[in-house]
Amino acid sequence: MITHRPIIGITMGDPAGVGPEIIVAALADETVYRNCRPLVLGDPGILEHAVAMAPLRDAREMSLNVIEHPFGVSGRPNTMDLMPISGLKPGSVRPGRPTPNGGKAMVDAVFKAVSLAQEGAIAAMVTCPISKTLMHRAGCRFDGHTELLAHLTGATDYVMMLAGERLRVALVTIHCALADVPRILNSDRVKRTIMVTEAALRCDFGLEAPRLAVAALNPHAGESGCFGSEETTIIAPAVEAARKTGARVDGPLPADTLFYKAASGQYDAVIAMYHDQGLIPLKLLHFSDGVNITLGLPIIRTSVDHGTAYDIAGQGVADPSSLKNAIKMASKLAENRRKNTPQGVSN
């Protein structure tokens, strides 16, 4: 293990989803501890039950170290360092059956993780899946983690990125109807996405001269206006403006060939115009091991690239690969940011 191992806060997510069991499964893998000290923020009763019900013997033998502050993190394999955020009654939350109390515990863990990250008590936060419906019932009227975290940290220029070993994709628009995308797009929004992504690749990913590709909105990049004008009126001006700042960026490029080039190593990230344009190729390559990253925040946040999976919760079959990669990536991003910025967290 390296001498300096940052503390990474992991929020439990919806206790009725797969969050608790993938946390247990991920922390049963000793390699997770090589570069960080994981700290779970959640409910002791729920997590104790998840340990007891784990299908793997190593996971069932995991001990819980309940602490009141990150200073008490042990960072030992086979030990779950846990800060109690809620005290749900035994049996009050069952796998696959979300409850209002579980929703409050879910949201409270996120709020606490953000607070600890802002204080510098943890170097980064990793989020397990939440229910947007439950979040709304708990009083948080946001479309998801990304928007909530931007609100809590005061970030205005933030970007959702999904990443794996072969492909990174940043989104200009996130959760909106496909019919609304042309109306929402504008050159400033495209340029800001390019610049936030480029800055994150330099600072957090440690790339000295990142290469970016910007996807067109329309087939064949509009075919000289035959299939739409957004390429010439919105995207191309944004790309040119980004180039003038020194960014290495190409586009707009036809999306049907662009992702092949990016996955082959020609680009470090793709800027996609809308959700499915970017996430279909990403999940084709990284369905189990993809990581969700919020760029542009003053804190580091990564997440699993899947939902609560109520249909399989509690069955012991949920794949922890995405969570393990999210923890490992958060560790790398935290270390890079610590090296590259004077205000970097040093936990």
Partnered with residue 248 across adjacent β-strands are: 211
Q: How many helices (H) and strands (E) does the chain have?
A: 13, 12
pLDDT(3) > 90: no
Per-residue model confidence as pLDDT tens digits over 224-265: 778 889 999 999 999 999 999 999 999 999 999 999 999 999
pLDDT digits (tens, 9 = 90+) for 292-334: 999 999 999 999 999 999 999 999 999 999 999 999 999 999 9
Q: What is the DSSP letter of 321?
A: H
Q: Are 23 and 324 in contact (CB under 8 A)?
A: no
Kindly report the pTM of this predicted structure. 0.92
Q: What is the CA radius of gyration of the chain?
A: 20
- How would residue 343 be classed by pLDDT, with cut points 50, 70 and 90? low
- Do 169 and 278 form a contact (C-beta atoms < 8 A)? yes
> What are the pLDDT digits (tens) for 57-104?
888 899 999 999 999 999 999 999 999 999 998 888 999 999 999 999
